[in-house]
């Protein structure tokens, strides 16, 4: 551990709300310890602003251990900053050096409107899950958990996809602001499990339809999403989703009209 403190210059996007225009504002961050997390550095800057009677920089954050997916900022042009497979809250100041200039922006995507400063509205992701990102299994109905063996390989692949924290870095990194990595991670998580089979094709159709309705762009294979993803979600999920989507489109039938029982 090094104890040399650093002096940094921040260029932070300030925007009062979705309707106002925003602009970059420069702040000094002096005496920064390399052991601080990035967000702790911002805490110190904010405490300084409050002491001067200025409004602090608003940013989203919660668990600060890289799992809740709340923190979201573009640091020097990269979602979650320079370190691979690391959320902003897990980034430490030892990744920077004395005298550095750091630019901070919110996620930029039409589907993620700015709420204030570095905070954006990601509820589009919830709406995509709400149309099909689930398995219908009301509480109380299931059978014994071990009555359905699942190969370790599939369980592990499903778990890899399920590790997605829904932060939206994939969208922020994509030149088209596509949500395909996020959506495909859910398609893989549930589609690789036997429990997920009954709704597999319905799910992919409905989720993709909602994704399009939310104004996310399409995938043109840049691969920026995979690079930016703090949880290492792979683009092979997008390939799996596309396969399922083609099959779903070819085999789609309109629901038959049901009738009441006796």
Report 42-61 residues binding other proteins (CB under 8 A): 43-44, 47, 49-51, 53-56, 58, 60-61
Return the residue of 79, 81, 166, 217 that touches other proteins, per CB under 8 A: 166
DSSP element (H, E) containing 208: helix 200-213
User: What is the residue-wise DSSP string for 154-175?
Assistant: HHHHHHHHHT-----HHHHH-T
Nearest to 219 by CA among 161, 168, 259, 175: 175
Nearest to 182 by CA among 239, 125, 119, 254: 125
| Contact call for residues 13 and 24 (beta carbons, < 8 A) | yes
Give me 217's structure tokens. Answer: 């762009």
**Least distance to other proteins, CB of residue 112, Å:** 10
**Least distance to other proteins, CB of residue 130, Å:** 4
φ, ψ for residue 249 (rounded to 5)? -70, -35
Of 134 and 220, nearer to other proteins (C-beta) is 134
Residue list 92-151, contact with other proteins (CB under 8 A): 92, 94, 115-116, 119, 121-123, 125-126, 129-146, 148-151
Pairing between β-strand 6-14 and β-strand 101-105 as defined by DSSP bridges: parallel
DSSP element (H, E) containing 244: helix 236-251
Quick one: which segment of 30-38, 211-219, 233-241, 244-252 binds other proteins (CB under 8 A)?
30-38
Strand 101-105's sheet: what is its strand order?
23-32, 6-14, 101-105, 74-75, 78-79
Q: How many residues bind other proteins (CB under 8 A)?
A: 82
Return the residue of 62, 98, 110, 212 that touches other proteins, per CB under 8 A: 62
Of 88 and 219, nearer to other proteins (C-beta) is 88
Say whether residue 190 binds other proteins (CB under 8 A). yes
Of 171 and 219, nearer to other proteins (C-beta) is 171
- No. of helices (H) and no. of strands (E), the chain: 8, 7
Contacts of 154 (CB under 8 A, 6+ apart): 192, 193
Residue list 65-84, contact with other proteins (CB under 8 A): 65-70, 83
Quick one: which segment of 40-48, 170-178, 239-247, 253-261 binds other proteins (CB under 8 A)?
40-48
CA torsion 94→89→108→237, rounded to 10°?
Answer: 100
Quick one: which segment of 28-36, 103-111, 216-224, 235-243 binds other proteins (CB under 8 A)?
28-36
Residue list 199-228, contact with other proteins (CB under 8 A): none
Of 37 and 219, nearer to other proteins (C-beta) is 37
């Amino acid at each position: 551990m090094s104890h040399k403190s650093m002096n940094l210059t921040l260029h932070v996007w300030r925007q009062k709300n979705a309707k106002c225009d925003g602009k970059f504002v420069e702040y000094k961050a002096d005496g920064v310890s390399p052991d601080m997390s990035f967000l702790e550095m911002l805490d110190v800057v904010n405490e300084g602003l409050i002491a001067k009677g200025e409004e602090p920089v608003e940013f989203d954050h919660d668990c600060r251990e890289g799992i809740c997916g709340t923190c979201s900022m573009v640091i020097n042009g990269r979602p979650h900053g320079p370190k691979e497979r690391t959320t902003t809250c897990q980034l430490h100041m030892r990744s920077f050096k004395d005298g550095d200039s750091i630019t901070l922006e919110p996620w930029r995507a039409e589907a993620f409107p700015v709420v204030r400063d570095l905070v954006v509205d990601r509820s589009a992701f919830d709406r995509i899950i709400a149309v099909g990102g689930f398995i219908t299994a009301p509480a109380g109905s299931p059978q014994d958990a071990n009555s359905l063996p699942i190969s370790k390989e599939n369980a592990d692949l499903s778990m890899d996809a399920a590790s997605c924290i829904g932060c939206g870095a994939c969208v922020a990194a994509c030149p088209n602001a596509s949500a395909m990595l996020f959506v495909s991670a859910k398609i893989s998580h549930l589609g690789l499990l036997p429990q997920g089979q009954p709704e597999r094709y319905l799910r992919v159709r409905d989720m993709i339809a909602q994704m399009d309705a939310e104004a996310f762009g399409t995938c043109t294979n840049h691969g920026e999403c995979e690079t930016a993803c703090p949880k290492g979600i792979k683009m092979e999920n997008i390939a799996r989703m596309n396969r399922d989507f083609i099959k779903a489109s070819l085999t789609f039938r309109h629901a038959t009209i049901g009738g009441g029982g006796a």
